[in-house]
Amino acid sequence: MSVLSQFDPEVASYIKEEETRQHDKIRMIASENSVSKAVMEATGSILTNKYSEGYTGKRYYEGQQVIDKIEDLAISRAKELFGADHVNVQPYSGSPANLAVYLAFIKPGDTILGMALPHGGHLTHGSRASISGKYFNAVSYELDENTGLISYDRIEELALQHKPKIIVAGHSAYPRQLDFKRFREIADKVGAILFVDMAHFAGLVAGGAHPSPIPYADVVTTTTHKTLRGPRGGMILCKEEYAKAIDKAVFPGIQGGPHNHTTAGIAVALKEALSPKFKDYAAQIVKNSQTLAKVLMEKGFKLVTDGTDNHLILIDLRNKDVTGKQAAKALDRAGIVCNYNTVPKDDRKAFDPSGIRMGTATLTTRGFKEEEMTQVALWIDKVVTNWDKEEVLDQIAKEVKELCNKKPVPEMF
């Protein structure tokens, strides 16, 4: 960053500061990861200079000789990785991708059925705070009160009662795999489009550590930066019959020109995900969250659904003497970064709920395995027990930094 440091030392120093923070901390936000140097170089390239509204061979600007090749490459790699008929790699991120799906299939006032936000759904799955809940008649399914699991029978009941045009499967905070076959059966019963948002677990699908929604869903969206370990972006994968509607909804429906530098970064990340090593990576993410879950439960923590089979865990802190926000803030001071999160039947507000959510993708990227995850769980226990004792938290932060120094983010995967 020598030129940036010379021209704008203020921004350069902030980037350096953030780089140090990312290096020194145990990053457990379930929607984050660390990209390779190759992805970073593609994303930070001169491709940011080019405007390319439209699609390959049908652009509204000249000079697309190279951009067309890059976009086609990203699309063909995504098709190969996920076995999809059609892929659009232009969505700026997951929320615009989801909006494009609604635009492609439904009209304002139509009914959608998605997972409730406080139960692990996403804002764009019909939350009243989002356009998805303001423009559409959003009906929400909740988790089973006793098990914390998705109740497919309940989804079916709601589907039969409300006849949604779209059923949304997918989540931001559900620690279990989804039964896409069952979702398909429910959608077929009411003639709904089955829309799967696999943003959180796309990398696990790519690496074979989570069932794929592709054979069952009409349309699948994903971000590219979570378990998939690419730059910040989005993709829509769909059956051939919906290709035109989806492309039209992304451009000109929701967006203008695609971010070509991001498309190139996505292409590189997809090449990484196609390598045999990515299977080991995806499997290790799950082993790591299961190790974390096991040790925490041995220490008396209550986990929603009593465990995990994906990249995340959701800790219900109601049997501990601390709220989600107090715990998240104490953990951050101790060098362990996560987010506070609502849990099923939470009686606290979303801004200071009863739980915390933690993911293992970023730690797996930097080489953490079962041994390190056990240590992380022991630190989490110590922080939660001593959340208001600054000297204990600061001592843990030092130990965290020592471990992080031994496990830098590798430049290549």
Distance CA 160, CA 151 (A): 14
Tell whether residue 234 is a contact of ligand DSN (CB under 6 A): no
Query: Shortest Cβ contact with ligand DSN: which residue?
Result: 31
15-21 long-range CB contacts below 8 Å, 24 or more apart? none
If you search the block for the tokens 């492609």, which residue do you land on?
A: 104
Residue whose CB is less far from ligand DSN, 94 or 148: 94
Residue whose CB is less far from ligand DSN, 54 or 94: 94
First to last CA, the chain: 23
Q: Min. distance of Cβ 31 from ligand DSN in angstroms?
A: 3
Torsion of CA 55, 204, 154, 294, to 10 degrees: -160
Residue whose CB is less far from ligand DSN, 119 or 122: 122
Choosing from 25, 26, 31, 338, the residue that interacts with ligand DSN (CB under 6 A) is 31
Q: Min. distance of Cβ 102 from ligand DSN in angstroms?
A: 16
Is the separation of the CB atoms in 262 and 35 below 8 Å? no
Q: Min. distance of Cβ 94 from ligand DSN in angstroms?
A: 5
Distance CA 76, CA 29 (A): 30
Tell whether residue 172 is a contact of ligand DSN (CB under 6 A): yes
Q: Min. distance of Cβ 52 from ligand DSN in angstroms?
A: 25
Identify the CA nearest to 206 among candidates 182, 172, 230: 230
Q: Count CA atoms closer than 13 A to 280's CA, side-chain side.
A: 9
Burial grade of 254 (CB within 10 A; 0-12, 13-18, 19 or more): buried
- Whether 197 sits among the annotated catalytic residues: the reply is yes
Tell whether residue 34 is a contact of ligand DSN (CB under 6 A): no
> Which parts of 113-132 interact with ligand DSN (CB under 6 A)?
122
Tell whether residue 94 is a contact of ligand DSN (CB under 6 A): yes
Is the separation of the CB atoms in 316 and 355 below 8 Å? yes
Q: Min. distance of Cβ 70 from ligand DSN in angstroms?
A: 25
Residue whose CB is less far from ligand DSN, 54 or 114: 114
- Whether 51 sits among the annotated catalytic residues: the reply is yes
**Residues that are catalytic:** 51, 53, 197, 223, 226, 232
